[in-house]
């Protein structure tokens, strides 16, 4: 009997070691400690903007030769906050928990419905500004108060 209990315990331990940590177990950027104070998050996002400003949009792109919106979000969170995120907007939209637009904070993901079957994602910075890879102008900062984005706002999530 003790052999079975020992065997079950070993299997449980090994099974636990084989699972990947849930990225949502990481504290959200705005709560992850002194290195991720909201002002530091904004500083990191502006630094990412300065490093990527104007990089052209390329569907499926994942480098400075060309990047799409979800690729840019994924790269930014990995490089600036050490948080791995999924690669597609559809997968990103399932991460974290939804928050009201009125409670947006630096580092939150914001999503737009740009057409019936197309979604767009960016990273909220502050004062209505968000960082994203635009199909027309590449990596840039836009405002959610712009008529185009206001009409297409879908939701926001916090990781």
- What is the C-alpha separation between 128 and 118, in angstroms, rounded? 22
**Is residue 26 annotated as part of the catalytic site, yes or no?**
no
User: For residues 101 and 157, what is the distance between their CA atoms, to the nearest angstrom?
Assistant: 9
> Has residue 6 got a pLDDT over 70?
no
Report the CATH number of the 26-158 domain: 3.90.1720.10
Of 17, 37, 120, 145, the catalytic one is: 120
- Catalytic residue at 17? no
- 37 catalytically annotated: no
The radius of gyration computed from the CA coordinates of the chain, to the nearest angstrom, equals 19
Domain boundaries, given as residue ranges, for the chain:
26-158
How far apart are the C-alpha atoms of 155 and 140, rounded to whole Å? Answer: 20
* Confidence grade of residue 25 (pLDDT, cut at 50, 70, 90): very low
Cβ contact 107:48 at 8 Å: no
Task: For residues 100-106, give the mean pLDDT.
Answer: 96
């Amino acid at each position: 009997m003790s052999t079975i209990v020992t065997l079950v315990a070993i299997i449980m331990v090994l099974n636990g070691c084989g699972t990947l940590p849930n990225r949502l177990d990481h504290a959200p950027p705005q709560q992850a400690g002194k290195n991720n104070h909201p002002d530091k998050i904004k500083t990191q996002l502006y630094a990412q903007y300065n490093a990527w400003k104007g990089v052209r949009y390329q569907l499926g792109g994942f480098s400075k030769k060309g990047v799409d919106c979800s690729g840019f979000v994924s790269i930014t969170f990995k490089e600036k906050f050490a948080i791995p995120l999924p690669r597609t907007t559809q997968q990103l939209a399932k991460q974290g928990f939804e928050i009201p637009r009125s409670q947006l904070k630096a580092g939150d993901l914001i999503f737009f419905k740009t057409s019936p079957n197309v979604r767009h994602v960016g990273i909220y910075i502050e004062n209505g500004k968000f960082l994203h890879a635009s199909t027309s102008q590449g990596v840039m900062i836009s405002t959610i108060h712009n008529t185009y984005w206001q009409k297409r706002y879908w939701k926001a999530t916090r990781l």
